[in-house]
Amino acid sequence: MLYLSRGINMLESQIIEVNGTFLGTIILEADRSTRRFYAAHESVKSLHNSKFAQTDDPVVSVAYVFRRGH
pLDDT of residue 8: 53
Alpha-carbon gap, residue 2 to 31, rounded angstroms: 25
pLDDT at residue number 4: 46
Backbone angles phi, psi at 5, to 5 degrees: -85, 135
pLDDT tens, residue order, the chain (70 aa) = 444 445 555 678 999 999 999 999 999 988 888 999 999 999 999 999 999 998 889 999 999 999 998 7
pLDDT at site 3: 45
CA distance 37 to 13: 10
What is the Cα gyration radius of the chain?
Answer: 13
| Whether the predicted model's global pTM rises above the 0.85 cut | no
Question: Do 35 and 15 form a contact (C-beta atoms < 8 A)?
Answer: no
